[in-house]
Amino acid sequence: MHKLAIPPEIIARVEARCGTAHPFNDLKPARTAFVVIDMQLGFMDPAISHACCPMAEQIVPAINRLAGALRQAGGAVFWIQNTHDASCDTSWSVMQRMATPAARARRVAAMTEGSPGHALWPTLDVRPEDEKVLKRRFSAFIQGSSDLPARLRARGFDTVLIGGTVTNVCCESSARDAMMLDFRTIMVADANAAMNDAEHNASLAAFWNIFGDVMTVDHVIARLNASAASEVAE
C-alpha cells in the first residue's frame, strides 16, 4: 500500500477555501457510485501487461471492502475497463503516434475486448448488480470515452468515489473530468495505485487542492454509516 503524505499546505488551502478539509463529508449512499478504474490483467499481470502497476494488486482488498460497504448502504459499483478498438486508431490517433510500433502492438493486444488482458482482476468482488463500462480514453468521463456519465445520471448518482489504477493517469483524469461535469468527486487514497508513492501523493495533492475531496476507505465507510444512522434517526 502507498504511504499517504499530503503536504499540510494543501490541506490548509482546502480548509481556507471550503471551510473544511472534506467538502463532501455529507455522503448520501443512494446517490453515491464507486467508479473503479482499469483493474484489469492488462495493467496487473506482468505476463500479459503492456503497462504493469505492481501496486495495483495490493489495493484489491480495499476496493472490495469499499464496494461491499457501499452496496450495503444503497449505492452502486461501476467497473471501468480500458478498451482499444478500431475507432481509437482515428478518433485518438495522437495516442497511437506517441508509442513505438512494438509498444502500440502490446497495448492493442492487452486492451482489446475479449483478450486476457482486458479482463478484470480475478479476485475483485464483482457482483451481478454491478455495472461494467468500457472506456476508450484515459478518462472515463470525457466525451468519446464512454457512456458512464449518462448511466450515472440515469440512476440518480451525483457523487462518485474514484479508485483503481493508475492514480495519476486514468484515475486522476477521470476524477477531474467528473468534477467538471458537476459530479461531487472523491479520490479514495488507499483504493488507488500508482507506480510509486511520489506519483501517487502528487496526484492526490493536485486533485484535493482544487478539484474535489480525498478520503481513505475507512473515512468513506464511516461517512456512509453516519448517513445511514442519520436517516434511521429521522
Distance from C-alpha of 216 to C-alpha of 202, rounded to nearest angstrom: 16
Domains identified in the chain and CATH numbers = 8-233 (3.40.50.850)
Q: Which residue has the cell 493486444?
A: 109
**Grid cell of 13 as nine digits:** 488551502
Contact present, 224 and 29 (Cβ < 8 Å)? yes
Distance from C-alpha of 185 to C-alpha of 207, rounded to nearest angstrom: 10
Query: Quick one: 25 exposed, middle or buried, by C-beta within 10 A (0-12, 13-18, 19+)?
Result: middle
pLDDT in tens, the chain (234 residues): 899 999 999 999 999 999 999 999 999 999 999 999 999 999 999 998 888 999 999 999 999 999 999 999 999 999 999 997 767 666 666 766 667 877 677 776 667 899 999 999 999 999 999 999 999 999 999 998 999 999 999 999 999 999 999 999 999 999 999 999 999 999 999 999 999 999 999 999 999 999 999 999 999 999 999 987 776 655
Distance from C-alpha of 146 to C-alpha of 133, rounded to nearest angstrom: 7
Task: Give Cα separations from 93 to 85, 90, 96, 103 (angstroms).
Answer: 12, 5, 5, 14
Q: Dihedral sign, CA of 130, 25, 137, 144?
A: positive
Cross-strand bridge partners of residue 26:
none
Which pLDDT score is estimated for 209?
98
Which pLDDT score is estimated for 232?
62
Q: Which residue has the cell 463500462?
A: 133
- What is the four-CA torsion angle of 54, 57, 62, 67, rounded to 10 degrees? 130
**Grid cell of 88 as nine digits:** 481509437
Q: What is the CA radius of gyration of the chain?
A: 17
Which pLDDT score is estimated for 203?
98
Query: Quick one: 98 exposed, middle or buried, by C-beta within 10 A (0-12, 13-18, 19+)?
Result: exposed
**β pairing state of 131-135 and 213-215:** unpaired
